Amino acid sequence: MLRETVRLEHDQSISALFFVHLLARFNRRKKMRRFLLVLIVILLASLNGHAQGRGGGGGAPPTARAAAPFDMTGYWVSIVSEDWRWRMFPNKGDYAGVPLNAEARKIADSWDPAKDEAAGEQCKAYGAPGLMRIPGRFHITWQDDQTLQIETDAGRQTRVFHFGAAQAAGGDLQGVSKAEWEFVRPGAGFAIAGDRGGSQAGSLKVTTTNLRPGYLRRNGVPYSANAKLTEYYDLVREASGVTYLVLTSTLEDPMYLTQPMITAAHFKKQADASGWNPAPCAVR
């Protein structure tokens, strides 16, 4: 996908991050939304002049860990600056902002949390399509040189991102997530997945399929086993040293959505595990 880069020499504030999400919510054209979101994230990184790559003398790096254009490991906390009411206090029947079809609205309107509890389905809202938007803390580590994982304290879930061939059959709430680095060559104006080309900037792209059906929100808004989740993770570091992770997600679900659903989320990096408090899934 084409990626435009702009080089400026002045500081920026976190308010620019919120502008990313205003675009995601109010721009109605899918391609333009993605283009503008990526453009602004790359711009923010460029403003700080950070060379977050690890160098390289050409040729493919041996592992995904060695190739990483930035380090996203550590502890992160959600910044709930967008869609606050749906993320903090999801109410039954409140599915505004989700392009549901009639069948999906019927399912959402009939949601009964007591039935989910009785059936042992308390975690249906903690699958990959909705998990990163549930407020909480996240611990990101390398499981090995080709596998990145994200643990959440909300719901005690673990997502596993496989670089290269998928290592799992899927069929659970987290599905199968295939990861790749998308690198930006300075001055080239576009990104090439899997090709560093001397670049020191890039994004993590994750594509998740083979999902078990679940909820987009904690109020019974459904997604099906046919859903496909595409995520882009970008790192932004302010001049003050504060580091943010910006996640842009696109969910496609031909069974329940009338069009792709694009959302975004922010996370602030923590110095340590302060506040980390794993808790079980909850439906209320």
What is the dihedral angle through the alpha carbons of 76, 77, 82, 84, rounded to the nearest 10 degrees? 150
pLDDT of residue 40: 53
Position 82, amino acid: E
Residue 59 vs residue 103, higher pLDDT: 103
Alpha helix (H) residue ranges in 30-174: 30-47, 64-67, 84-88, 102-109, 113-118, 128-131
pLDDT of residue 167: 64
pLDDT of residue 85: 79
User: Which of 3-17, 43-57, 146-160, 248-262 is predicted with the least confidence, judged by mean pLDDT?
Assistant: 3-17
Output the pTM of the full model.
Answer: 0.77
Q: Per-domain residue ranges for the chain?
A: 15-53+62-270
pLDDT digits (tens, 9 = 90+) for 238-276: 999 999 999 999 999 999 999 999 999 999 999 999 999
Position 90, amino acid: P
CATH 1.10.730.10 fits 15-53+62-270, yes or no: no
pLDDT of residue 246: 97
Q: Is the pLDDT of residue 103 over 60?
A: yes
User: Which of 100-109, 188-197, 260-269 is predicted with the least confidence, judged by mean pLDDT?
Assistant: 188-197
DSSP string, 66-107: HH-SS---EEEEEE--SSHHHHHS--TT--TTS-B-HHHHHH
For range 24-31, the mean pLDDT: 44
Round the average pLDDT of the chain to a whole number and report it: 81
Assign residue 34 a region (left: φ > 0; alpha: ψ between -120 and 50; beta: otherwise): alpha
User: Which of 80-89, 241-250, 274-283 is predicted with the least confidence, judged by mean pLDDT?
Assistant: 80-89
In the chain the first and final C-alpha atoms are separated, in Å, by: 40
Q: Is the pLDDT of residue 6 over 60?
A: no
